[in-house]
Structure 1
Amino acid sequence: MSLTIGSALLWGVAHIATGRHRTGFLLMTVYLVLVGLIVTMATAFRGQLLSLAVQPAWLAALTVAIATVGVTWSVVILWSFWLVRPKGAGHNLNLAVAGALCMLVIAPSAWAGRVAYLSHDVVTTVFSATSTSPVIARDPWKGATRVNILLVGADAAPNRPGVRTDSMTVASIDTATGATTLFSLPRNLQQVQLPDGPARDRFPYGFTGEPPATPGLLNEVFQYAEDYPEMVPGVKNGHRGPTLLKQTISDILGIPVTYYAMVDMAGFAQIIDAMGGVRITIREPITYGKYNEGLLPAGTRKLSGEEALWFGRSRTYSDDYVRMGRQKCLLNAVAQQADPVTLLNSFENLAAATKRAISTDIPADLLPALVDLGQKVKGTHIKSLQFVPPLINTAYPDWHLIKRKVSEALKDRSGAPRRTVSTPSPSPTPSSSERAISLDEVC
């Protein structure tokens, strides 16, 4: 029994004990090399591991490798037991021990293989296979100093047709440092100028929707493009909305919006639950629910998915602009609290929720570079600028002022690396700010 257990902990022990020195030392060498490789990758090359974890080819290879190691380990255990098995009494007990050792090896291997398989499934389902132009490993951003990604919160409520993009924020990220500024546009922005082409021809004086059925707000542009294919000719169904919305917001801000990521509000709650909740500081009590039946009291607490959803969407006794500030605080909290251990503990639920809730045009071959960039973002203070009253009149927007404020915010290099996390002091509500301020000042 001791030799069988010893061989499970260090391959080759039973072989050496029975005089099979060459085979024993070979197994021992293979085992030590394998352990050394795993420890080295998990410590010295942790960043590279995160990049490999979002590449379908590597995930497929990892699934096979984990299964191979689990089977090989079990074979070594049974082989070792066979060499040193007792001839008389105790045979069944020792056989049971050998079987239990095999299960102890196979169970975590099967779990790790399952995680790798689910990761492969999420990456290939959510992200497009390849980008329109090849991603170069040494310069994935093709010389760009910033990458701008549109983050959309979509609400497909049962009482209204189609999708309304009620939350629209562009994350402008410095590709060298990770310094990030969030530019938020209110859903009720009116007279939005659509990009040149069929869309501008249809609405030469700004988007008006389909009055009196719709008021012609920015949050209608996505669904309008999906309903009227001629608005974005040559683009297939399901892609017209994001394409027109990206182009429209790019023109509003005066910066190129390259990619988008959209999360369904109900699915977002499932993602929060899969994370085990999210800790948020609530500055003022928030009433929520269809009939105001819920209340989130002031204070710092961990919110469930449903509570987090209402934290980000409730407008009772407040307005769109206060809600926009809370949404950015919620995104920031999720980004900071999504640690690997928590995510692995509920990975299957998280993977299922992600596939249901998220759509994006970020190509899979850009994910390794995006993961590296994400690590830089987590080490900086994220700044935020909202184009809401009094800075911007949503009924008669000053488009030139919006572009000027964006340019000024991106020239401001004051976002220093994050060193310590301290309790933020009270500050004016983000809706009253006319400059890009750190989310640490608000949340």
Structure 2
Amino acid sequence: MSDPAAGDPPLPSSRARRPTDRSQARPVRPASRTSDIRRLIAATASSIVPGSGQALNLRLRPALFFGLPTALIVLVAWLIAHSDRSAAVLARLISPEILGALLLLNVAVLLWRVLALFQAFSDRRYPGQPGRLGGVGLVALLAFTVVPHAAAWNAGSAAQEMFAEIFAGSTVRSVSGPLPEDRQRLNVLLIGVDSGPGRTEALTDSLIVVSLDPVGRTVSMVSIPRDLAGVPLGNGDTYGPKINSLMTFADLHPADFPAGGIRTLENAVGALLGIPIHAYATVDLTGFVAMVDAVGGVDIDVERPLADAKYGGFGVGPGWSVEPGRHHFDGANALAYARIRKSPGESDFTRAARQQQILVALRDRAVSVGVLVDLPILIRAVGSTVRTDLPADRLAQLAGLADQIGASSTVKVVLTSSMIRSGGSTKYGSVWLAVPSRIAAMTKVVFGPPGADPTWPVPVVPVPNPDAREAPTRAGRL
């Protein structure tokens, strides 16, 4: 048998002549999958921090284009969070006008993030078209990016609506009072309304005048007893029943009280104290509980033991008690501490002092927590129950003052036995009557000119006795 000719090429084997489809596909699929993963990593980075995905793709100019505005926004947010006047800045940011601008900024940031992630995903360094993994991952990433902005839009829109309700004043007709100049005292009547179960009408459970001095940076608080009767109305007339029924009575008789219930009450309190009442704020007791809970509770130094076996309501009871010492109260227990009055040795006067203590503690807590307060919960709590005729543009100014005024700059007064006297038992129940001269003396000090020290009670300076100074000398001569 002869060998093949020396010049003839060897015949290829059948295995070499038939390349399989498997061997052809191997280099394609892993490359596509790897490219999709790299695309998604870069896009995710730019979704979180625009510009970072471009940096991963080694694209300097796009990284700077998307990254510098992002860095500016982060810097501004950091400065706001670490500002010494964070409460004032936050109040300014959530005012209706600024809140509307922030909603538009929210949309702009969303579009910026989406543009950045698309640019990082479709960078030309990645060959070919993205595969199935890339497409599915891109859709999931878009949802991850859009959902927080949609939630922020809903929350911001709800906040706008609630602020419109809060600063629209009472739903019951009321005529607002004139506002003072920027450097004059602002006197606000805080009205705690008890309209809970078992009430046939809304009664003013607490009346507190809060006066803010922007020059001296002090706050004066004066509590009006709810059983005070015969109060002047500011027009020469007096209201015979208890003052806590005046607001509802005036609203039910518009022909006699055309200004409305709240303004009539403001005029009465202003005439009683001899000061103008510029604005009011009403809060329902349920809303008070929600506000305290929204700031994480309040810290209170309890001076005396309190116990009332019959107290109940708003999530507490039957029965409530507390021992002396420092306590952290949630909303329901803070309200119980502020309302209880049937404990031995307690009265409406001691209760009024505790209400002032709670208000100061609530202010301190809100300022100390600052921007960390659960703002959506707080806004919902305030929006559902608080009404005021204060202009919304004053919110930042008031928050700034609250940020700077401490407990040592807050003067608390309760109209008690030195300024009121017993009116005995009447058809309206046991009542108190005002002593105008004593109230006027207090008002002169507590609501003095802007910048004056509202110290109360007025310190008694002993008058030197010449005979007392000479006595030792005379004794020495004996």
Question: What interval of TM-score do these two structures reach, taking the shorter chain for normalisation?
Answer: 0.7 to 0.9
Contact conserved, 1:128 with 1:364, CA < 8 A, in 2?
Answer: no
Change (3 A) 1:65 1:378: farther
Which residue of structure 1 lines up, in the alignment, with residue 101 of structure 2?
61
Q: Does structure 1 residue 188 correspond to structure 2 residue 213?
A: no
Q: 1:161 aligns with which of 176, 200, 218?
A: 200
Counterpart of 2:421, as a letter, is N
Q: Deviations over 1:212-235 (max 9, x none)?
A: xxxx111111111111112322x3
Q: Does structure 1 residue 229 correspond to structure 2 residue 257?
A: no
Q: 1:247 aligns with which of 251, 267, 287?
A: 267
Q: Does structure 1 residue 364 correspond to structure 2 residue 392?
A: yes
Provide the secondary structure at the position in 2 that maps to 1:333: helix
Q: 2:326 aligns with which of 288, 300, 303?
A: 300
Which shifted more, 221-230 or 29-38?
29-38
Contact conserved, 1:54 with 1:368, CA < 8 A, in 2?
Answer: no
Q: Does structure 1 residue 374 correspond to structure 2 residue 402?
A: yes
Which residue of structure 2 lines up, in the alignment, with residue 218 of structure 1?
243
Identity rate, percent: 24
Provide the secondary structure at the position in 1 that maps to 2:409: coil
Task: Give the distance between the partners of 1:342 and 1:371, measured in 2 at CA.
Answer: 11
Provide the secondary structure at the position in 1 that maps to 2:441: helix
Q: Deviations over 1:110-151 (max 9, x none)?
A: 45444433332222111039xx99x9xxxx942552111111
Task: Give the distance between the partners of 1:255 and 1:415, measured in 2 at CA.
Answer: 15
Which residue of structure 1 lines up, in the alignment, with residue 341 of structure 2?
315
Change (3 A) 1:95 1:333: farther
Contact conserved, 2:222 with 2:413, CA < 8 A, in 1?
Answer: yes
Contact conserved, 1:308 with 1:330, CA < 8 A, in 2?
Answer: yes
Change (3 A) 1:13 1:153: closer
Counterpart of 1:365, as a letter, is D
Contact conserved, 2:419 with 2:436, CA < 8 A, in 1?
Answer: no
Change (3 A) 1:52 1:393: same
Q: How many residues align?
A: 394
Q: Deviations over 1:149-178 (max 9, x none)?
A: 111111124333222112111111112232
- Report the CA distance between 1:14 and its aligned residue: 5.1
Provide the secondary structure at the position in 1 that maps to 2:413: strand
- TM-score (structure 1 length as normaliser): 0.77
- Report the CA distance between 1:9 and its aligned residue: 5.8
Q: 1:270 aligns with which of 282, 286, 290?
A: 290
Q: Deviations over 1:222-277 (max 9, x none)?
A: 111111112322x3xxxx11101110111111111111111111221122223332
- Report the CA distance between 1:302 and its aligned residue: 2.0
Contact conserved, 2:246 with 2:265, CA < 8 A, in 1?
Answer: yes
Q: Does structure 1 residue 398 correspond to structure 2 residue 424?
A: no
Task: Give the distance between the partners of 2:87 and 2:334, measured in 1 at CA.
Answer: 30
Which residue of structure 2 lines up, in the alignment, with residue 174 of structure 1?
213
Task: Give the distance between the partners of 1:224 and 1:363, measured in 2 at CA.
Answer: 27
Which residue of structure 1 lines up, in the alignment, with residue 6 of structure 2?
none
Q: 2:303 aligns with which of 283, 303, 308?
A: 283
Which shifted more, 358-367 or 258-267?
358-367
- Report the CA distance between 1:35 and its aligned residue: 3.4
Task: Give the distance between the partners of 2:288 and 2:281, measured in 1 at CA.
Answer: 12
Contact conserved, 2:446 with 2:454, CA < 8 A, in 1?
Answer: no
Contact conserved, 2:300 with 2:358, CA < 8 A, in 1?
Answer: yes
Provide the secondary structure at the position in 1 that maps to 2:108: helix
Contact conserved, 1:154 with 1:164, CA < 8 A, in 2?
Answer: yes
Q: 1:409 aligns with which of 446, 449, 455?
A: 446
Provide the secondary structure at the position in 2 that maps to 1:244: helix
Q: Between Structure 1 and Structure 2, whose CA radius of gyration is higher?
A: 2
Contact conserved, 2:311 with 2:320, CA < 8 A, in 1?
Answer: no
